[in-house]
Amino acid sequence: MLEEIPARDDRGLIKLDALVRFARVCSVLPSRTPKPYYGVGDDATIGVEWDLGRFHLEIQVGNDPAVDAIVYEVDEGEPEELPLEGNVGILTFLMSRIVNS
């Protein structure tokens, strides 16, 4: 996953600190995590998202850690949003449940 981000960052928006935080998040994902869709927003955020059957899951990491977030959704319902800080364990739990379901 880490190799994909610089290729998407064609305007050089993402700072090293954000890449390091993104790497930390990736390191807690289960080994069977499917390949996500990657992107870099005009607001200098890294985004990754998965459409996994009934579930939709996204992570955002920005140059400003205050915008780091997890978003998850079931059956196209309203997205639930959590700050990434303090909730990385929930991300691991969600992805583990989804890939094992």
Binding site for another protein (CB under 8 A): 8, 37, 39-43, 45, 47, 49, 51, 56, 58, 60, 67, 69, 71, 73, 76, 79-81
Return the number of the residue (71 or 99) whose C-beta is nearest another protein. 71
Return the number of the residue (29 or 47) whose C-beta is nearest another protein. 47
Burial status of residue 1 (CB atoms within 10 A of its CB: 0-12, 13-18, 19 or more): middle
Instruction: Give the Cα separation of 100 and 94 in Å (integer).
Output: 10
Return the number of the residue (31 or 42) whose C-beta is nearest another protein. 42
Min dist. Cβ of residue 65 to another protein (A): 13
Instruction: Give the Cα separation of 24 and 46 in Å (integer).
Output: 13
Min dist. Cβ of residue 34 to another protein (A): 12
Contact 3, 48 (CB under 8 A): no
Return the number of the residue (67 or 99) whose C-beta is nearest another protein. 67
Q: What angle do CA 15, 29, 101 make, to 5 degrees?
A: 145
Min dist. Cβ of residue 69 to another protein (A): 4
